[in-house]
A = this chain, B = another copy of it.
Amino acid sequence: MSTPSSRLRNVLGHLLPLSNADAPPHHFSHLSPTFFLERAAAIEPNAEAVYHVTANGKVLRRSYMELADRARGLAYYLRKKGLKRVGLLAPNTPAFLESIYGIVAAGGVIVPANIRLKPEDISYIFDFAEVDAIIVDKEYENLLDLFRASHPQVEIIIDLDTDATSGALSGPFDDAVLEGLQHDRATGNKGWSDLQSQTVPNEDDMLAIPFTSGTTSKPKGVIYTHRGAYLAAVANVVESGLNLPSGRCKYLWTLPMFHAVGWTFPWAVCAVRGTHVCLRKVDYPLIWRLLKEEGVTHFNAAPTVNTLLCSAKEAEVLPRPVRVTVAASPPTAHLFEQMTNLNLFPVHVYGLTETYGPITRGYMLPEWEALPANEKFAKMARQGHGFLTSLPVRVIKPEQGEAGILIDVAKDGKEIGEIVFSGNICSKGYYKDPEATKKLFAGGVLHSGDLAVWHPDGSIQIQDRAKDIIISGGENISSVALESMLVEHPDVLEAGVVAVPDSHWGERPKAYLTVKEGREGALKGEEVIDWAKHQSSISKFMVPREVEIVRELPKTSTGKIKKNVLREWAKKGTPGDVVA
């Protein structure tokens, strides 16, 4: 048995033979994804790095050389000013992308905040993360009023998101970039060689603190490291196939960059010198135009975004397959069928902010092609297996074995347990919250809080969030399974199911539905209940006895249905937008 000190020597063996303890050994360099931008600009300076329609409606195109130069300018500006912890409050703009690289290259830490949060929550996040500067998009500047009043010392850098390169319009963000570039020129013109790109002090250091959505409590800051972000980004290249056999991927930014640092795609796309097609907001006609005219090859989006995309009036079968990486809430088999019919080829992944976004993938097996369509799409809707650079995902029983040993559920597709993760795509923990970190890693694995079954083929399938499962007469009812069944109804667009108290059964399921365009008012809740009784995919006891049809479902910024709001509706009555 090794002692702690011999163990340390062993683990760090490569560092010890050095005469200069400040340098890593010659065969070792600390992993950091910031290098992907410097590298892309060195290999293909003229490749198109950014396509964007600016806030003032101009089409902006930037090369990798320009993107790298602007990120470098920002880095020198921040370093000159001594700014190390930088908040970001912006939609998916070029400035956001430049900041992800510039802040880290300056040795700083990115703190992105969700632009759809209340000013109180945004203020909480930036205060908690102790930012010393904030880069904010002009449109969202007013969300900072509260924070600014109490933190006058924090520098606010406003981005106008206009095409500064074309002439007249420019703003404080562009000025900062320019000032940084001038500073570099005036201090030896060292370029990237003097920034943290090829070398960082330690790959286990923090480079970002994205926050969880915090639907039930205060948002939590999640610690991302250079090593974790690097390995997650490389896995995303392989799993989403961003390295096209020929040509360059064109990645459309429907997923918010503020959400889990865009699932590490700001780094993954630059790793293969792809084009970032930025997008200020999810605008379905614009997305369809970009899909048809700009040759988009990939995008990532939550199931709700894909549902609305498929039902948009601009939807048509695309000439070439576009790879759509889908996650955030469990997608239905029905959605995958709709998408596939439009040549939107789904790559189904699953993960949490705590796992750099995606960490599992539903791998399509060639033999599935021979299955009936409903079986094939049902298999595609499973969450699958751990990513290439992760360790395997597991589903464990709620109770532990002897000496705290975690016990896997049976791989029978029936026993429900909790999904847990291990390996390098697990975040380092919660910022300034050792208690929550301890709970997150209870038993030595990262707890997802999601309930799932484990199928005989080793793929996992989410049943529910632990808090969303409905326990009725001692039976577990998966709200996800009910929602998947309800959207099979020809008139139903979306479904959200929650538990309501029941004096006899303890709980019973209640469903909220939206209907497809043109069918408003034509569908009654009772009809859906009658129809559900004849569906073979659920047991009789699962049929919801209450179905309300509403104009819109409450959703988070990432497209998840807000179950807590639905529970409020069930308790206090639905607001005045019930349509049937």
Binding site for B on A (CB under 8 A): 1-2, 4, 7-8, 10-15, 21-29, 31, 35-36, 39, 42-44, 46-47, 198, 201-202, 204-205, 225, 227-228, 234, 237-239, 241, 243-248, 271-272, 321, 323, 363-367, 384-386, 388-389, 391-392, 422-424, 426-429, 441, 444-446, 458
Contacts and interface: CB of A to CB of B under 8 A. Distances in A.
Nearest to A230: B389
A23 B441 CA distance: 14
A544 B204 CA distance: 56
Nearest to A384: B43
Contacts of A458: 42-43
Contacts of A205: 13
A23 B445 CA distance: 13
Given A43-B385, A272-B238, A385-B43, A245 B202 contact: no
Nearest to A198: B391
14 contacts: A2-B22, A4-B22, A11-B12, A14-B428, A26-B444, A26-B446, A27-B427, A29-B422, A29-B423, A29-B424, A43-B458, A44-B363, A247-B366, A271-B388
A14 B204 contact: yes
A245 B238 contact: no
Contacts of A227: 28
A547 B443 CA distance: 73
Copies in the complex: 2
Nearest to A240: B243
A248 B366 contact: yes
A241 B245 contact: yes
B388 A234 contact: yes
A157 B36 CA distance: 45
A386 to B, nearest CB: 7
A524 to B, nearest CB: 43
A11 B24 CA distance: 9
Given A26-B426, A26-B444, 20 more contacts: A1-B22, A10-B201, A10-B202, A13-B205, A23-B444, A26-B441, A28-B227, A28-B424, A29-B423, A39-B386, A42-B385, A42-B392, A198-B391, A198-B392, A238-B271, A239-B243, A243-B243, A245-B323, A248-B366, A272-B388
Nearest to A422: B29
Given A204-B28, A424-B28, A445-B26, A238 B248 contact: no
Contacts of A426: 26-27
Nearest to A446: B26
Give the 6 A-B residue pairs with the shortest CB-CB distance, closest first: A4-B21, A27-B426, A26-B441, A14-B204, A29-B423, A27-B428
A42 B392 CA distance: 9
A46 B234 contact: no
B29 A8 contact: no
B389 A234 contact: yes
A460 to B, nearest CB: 12
Contacts of A44: 363, 365
A363 B271 CA distance: 13
A427 to B, nearest CB: 6
A29 B11 CA distance: 12
A352 B25 CA distance: 19
A416 to B, nearest CB: 21
A204 B14 CA distance: 7
A191 B228 CA distance: 28
A237 to B, nearest CB: 6
Contacts of A202: 10-11, 13
A13 B429 CA distance: 14
Given A43-B363, A238-B272, A458-B43, A422 B26 contact: yes
Contacts of A389: 234
A395 to B, nearest CB: 14
A39 B392 contact: yes
Contacts of A428: 14, 25, 27
A47 B47 CA distance: 38
B15 A8 contact: yes
A441 B27 CA distance: 9
Contacts of A47: 365-366
A556 to B, nearest CB: 25
B29 A391 contact: yes
Given A234-B238, A234-B389, A8 B21 contact: yes
Contacts of A364: 246
A139 to B, nearest CB: 35
Contacts of A388: 36, 39, 234, 271-272
A243 B237 CA distance: 10
A376 B35 CA distance: 28
A36 B391 CA distance: 10
Contacts of A201: 10-11
A366 B244 CA distance: 13
A24 B458 CA distance: 26
